[in-house]
Structure formats: C-alpha cells, structure tokens
Amino acid sequence: MALSRRHALALSIGLGAALWARGGTSPAEAQGEAAPVRTRPIPHSGEPLPVIGLGTVNVFDIGGDPAQLSARAAVIRALVAGGGRLIDTAPSYGRAESVVGDLLAETGSRGRVFLATKLERYDRGNGPVELRASMQRLRTDRLDLMQIHNVRDPQQDLAMLREWKAQGLCRYIGITTTYRGAFDAAEAVLRHERPDFLQIDYSLDDREAERRVIPAAVEVGAAVLTALPFGRNRLFRAVQGRALPDWAAEFDARSWGQFFLKYLLANPAVTAVIPGTGNPEHMADNLGAGRGRLPAAAERRRMVEFIASLG
C-alpha cells in the first residue's frame, strides 16, 4: 500500500506544483494547511470531534524497532498538530494498544487525544479483565470510547458497557462491524440499545452501509465512524498510475487519499473517518480531507461513476 499511495500522492502533488507555476496557489496554500480541520458533534452529547482520525490495525502492530517507533510517534504528532484527536485501536490488533499507549506517554499527547478501543469478549467473567488489560496497555485510567468489536448477535445488550460508563471508566459506548453479513445484527442492536457510536466498514467502492445501517444510526443519534475508508486499499490500487482528475479541485481534493475521504465526509451522517497509517506524511495528507469544500450530491455521483469506470 505504501508504494501505491506514495505514487498517487506524488502525482497529485505534481499537479499542485504545476498549477502553482501557472500562477495559482502554492502547494501548501492549496492544502489549506492554515485552516482548521472541521469538526462534527457527537449526537448524544454535542461534543465536537474532528472529522479525521487514525486507525491502528496492522500499522501499529510493530515490535521495538526504533525507526518504526519513531515513525509512529511522528504519526501521532502529525495527527495532534494538524487538529485531529481520535485514535482507534483494539486488543486484537496485536501490539497496537501497547504501542499507542507507550507513544502517547512519550509524546505527552494523551490529554489531547480521543482514545477508542474495543471489547473482544462480552461476558461478565472476561469483560472486566479485558477492560483492565486494555487500560493498562494504553496507560490510561479512563477511555473515551469503548466498543463491542464486530457484533454478530442481534440481541446483543450493552448493559456491562453502560455500567462502565456510569462508573467513569469510559465516556462513550459503541458497537462495530466490518462484515456485511453482520449488518442486520448491527442495525438491530442500534435500534434496541441506542449506543453512542457505530463504527462500520464504508468506502467509496463499498457503500452497502449507506442503505440501512447508517440511516439507523442517524435515527437513534449514534455517531458514525468509518472503518476501512480506503476499502482495504482497493481504492489506491484502482487508481495507481493515474493522475487525480482536475474536477477534484471543485471540492478541494489535492490527493487520492483526500478524494476518497471527502466522499465519505460529504455524507452528513459520518462523524469521523479513521484511516490507518504508519506514515506521518500520509497522516498530514489525510487531515487535508477535513479542510475546504466537500463534494455536493452531483459530485459524489460523479466520483462513484469514475471509480466504477476503472473496472
């Protein structure tokens, strides 16, 4: 993924430089770096949350290599310096929780981060043990968001998470799924449990969540986080070697990453996108999707048609 995205980013930066040479804005000005990242309110509280966050699956599951740790620390610094807050992780992401916790301590960023993790096994015996272990790895005594990971049971209750919230162990609760076969279950749990957050698989080339699950989240007032917003990197592979279309400038997309993320953010139901990256340059580029204009309905249809045309 790093190679294909680097190529795509280079092409879009080259286009920006060419426009600058013809008397347009500079690449830095084109990125809108001075503008703040937009925020959207968490529906159940009104708390503003920056629309660009950071996912950690795979990319933060690293060992003790100093170069890798330095790069991940730079990603966190880029997130915070660029106006982002949300970091999403899980116990099932290998060493990601520990790496995030260590780097938040190293960079002094915990107080500026909205920290989300997940519960893998929902039962009274193992749940509290797993919660304590996650908090220890993340070096925190309070989580911002605790989510049940990949719900599959339409009768799933959130009673234990609500108790943790009442005890001050987490500020919000939610559910996640990245499996289309579990979308019916997720919709059912949304309707009878009304959680604070839904995290769901949603990308420009996989829009199934738009049909029922995201509308259900809107109905119950759940914030929506989009997991896998690059379609497990399918989108970057689809555009590899292609220059960004000039009409992307109509909604201030300066790279393929911003193009893909702005499609999602143009859906007002989406509270934040959480692309994963271990590259600080990609983190800074992702944050650019939270600045400037967003595509209108006609432009979103054009984006869908363009990606579909690539076969």
Predicted confidence (pLDDT) per residue in 49-90, tens digit: 999 999 999 999 999 999 999 999 999 999 999 999 999 999
Contact (CB, 8 A) for 53 and 100: no
Q: In one letter, which amino acid is 293?
A: R
Q: Which domain range does residue 256 map to? A: 48-309
The answer to the question of residue 17 being in a domain is: no
The answer to the question of residue 73 being in a domain is: yes
Nearest-CA neighbor of 135 among 80, 195, 89? 89
Confidence band of 4 (pLDDT split at 50, 70, 90): low
Confidence band of 29 (pLDDT split at 50, 70, 90): very low
How many degrees, rounded to 5, is the angle at CA 142 between CA 109 and CA 176?
A: 95
The answer to the question of residue 30 being in a domain is: no
Say which residue, 263 or 11, is predicted with more confidence.
Answer: 263
Please tell me whether the overall predicted TM-score, pTM, comes out greater than 0.85 for this model.
yes
- Between the two ends of the chain, the Cα-to-Cα distance in Å is 19
The answer to the question of residue 289 being in a domain is: yes
CA 268 to chain centre: 15
Contact (CB, 8 A) for 203 and 272: no
Residue 164 to residue 254: CA distance in whole angstroms:
42
Residue 206 to residue 200: CA distance in whole angstroms:
11
Pairing of strands 54-55, 143-148: unpaired
Task: Tell me what pLDDT residue 6 has.
Answer: 58
Task: Tell me what pLDDT residue 194 has.
Answer: 98
pLDDT at 5 over 80: no
Average pLDDT over residues 106-123: 96
Nearest-CA neighbor of 188 among 164, 211, 212, 172? 212
Confidence band of 160 (pLDDT split at 50, 70, 90): very high
Nearest-CA neighbor of 71 among 108, 101, 103, 96? 103
Residue 150 to residue 120: CA distance in whole angstroms:
8
The answer to the question of residue 82 being in a domain is: yes
Look over the chain and give the mean of its residue pLDDT values, rounded to a whole number.
91
The answer to the question of residue 62 being in a domain is: yes
The answer to the question of residue 88 being in a domain is: yes
Percent of the chain residues topping a pLDDT of 90:
88
Residue 105 to residue 268: CA distance in whole angstroms:
34
Average pLDDT over residues 302-307: 98
Average pLDDT over residues 7-14: 50
Task: Tell me what pLDDT residue 25 has.
Answer: 37
User: pLDDT tens digits, residue range 179-224?
Assistant: 999 999 999 999 999 999 999 999 999 999 999 999 999 999 999 9
Query: What distances in angstroms separate CA 238 from CA 120, 204, 311, one per listed residue?
Result: 33, 12, 8
pLDDT at 22 over 60: no
Label residues 201-238 b or e (16+ Cβ within 10 Å = b).
Answer: bbbbbbeebeeebbebbeebebbbbbbbbbbeeebbeb
Confidence band of 28 (pLDDT split at 50, 70, 90): very low
With H, G, I as helix, E, B as strand and everything else as coil, classify residue 44.
coil
The count of residues in the chain is: 311
Centre a 10 Å sphere on the Cβ of residue 20 and count the other Cβ atoms it contains: 15
Task: Tell me what pLDDT residue 263 has.
Answer: 98
CATH for 138: 3.20.20.100
- Give phi and psi for 262, each to the nearest 5: -65, -30
Residue 203 to residue 210: CA distance in whole angstroms:
10
Number of domains in the chain: 1
Residue 60 to residue 131: CA distance in whole angstroms:
20
Say which residue, 38 or 11, is predicted with more confidence.
Answer: 38
The answer to the question of residue 42 being in a domain is: no
